[in-house]
C-alpha cells in the first residue's frame, strides 16, 4: 500500500517531469498522451508552477477541522477555574463557540 509520503514523492516527480517537458516546448495535450495522465492534470501543474515558481501547494482555506485550539482550551480552563458551576451553554456563549463543540 502506498503511503501519503510515497504519493507526495510520486506527485513531486510527476510535476517536475511535466514542467521539464513544458519548458522544452511540448504541448500539454502531447505531454498528457505520453505520460498517460489527463490533460487537465498537466494544465493544473502548469498553473501551480506559474503561480508559485515551485511545486508546493498553497494552504487550503475553508472550515477548520476542529474548533479546539490551544487558545480556546486555555480560555475554557480559565473560565471553569473562575466559575466552576457554569453550564455548557453559558461557556459556549461566553467564548463564541457552538454549544455542541463545547460538549465535546
In a domain, 57, yes or no: no
Q: Is-above-0.85 flag for pTM?
A: no
On whether both 44 and 76 belong to a single domain, the answer is no
**Residue 15 structural domain:** 7-52
All residues at 6 or more sequence positions from 79 whose CB lies less than 8 Å from its CB, including other chains: 86, 91, 94, 95
On whether both 18 and 47 belong to a single domain, the answer is yes
In a domain, 43, yes or no: yes
Length of the chain: 104
What are the pLDDT digits (tens) for 40-80?
Answer: 999 988 888 888 777 666 566 677 666 677 888 888 888 88
On whether both 11 and 40 belong to a single domain, the answer is yes
Distance CA 54, CA 93 (A): 44
Q: 61-72 burial by CB neighbour count: b if 16+ within 10 A, else e?
A: eeeeeeeeeeeb
Q: How many domains does the chain have?
A: 2
4: number of CA atoms within 13 Å, CB side? Answer: 0
In a domain, 41, yes or no: yes
Distance CA 31, CA 16 (A): 12
Amino acid at each position: 500500500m502506498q503511503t501519503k509520503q510515497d504519493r507526495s514523492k510520486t506527485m513531486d516527480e510527476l510535476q517536475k517531469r511535466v514542467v521539464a517537458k513544458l519548458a522544452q516546448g511540448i504541448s500539454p495535450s502531447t505531454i498528457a498522451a505520453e505520460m498517460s495522465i489527463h490533460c487537465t492534470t498537466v494544465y493544473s501543474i502548469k498553473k501551480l508552477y506559474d503561480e508559485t515558481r515551485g511545486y508546493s501547494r498553497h494552504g487550503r482555506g475553508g472550515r477548520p477541522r476542529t474548533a479546539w485550539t490551544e487558545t480556546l482550551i486555555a480560555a475554557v480552563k480559565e473560565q471553569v477555574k473562575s466559575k466552576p458551576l457554569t453550564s455548557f451553554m453559558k461557556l459556549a456563549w461566553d467564548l463564541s463557540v457552538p454549544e455542541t463543540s463545547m460538549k465535546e
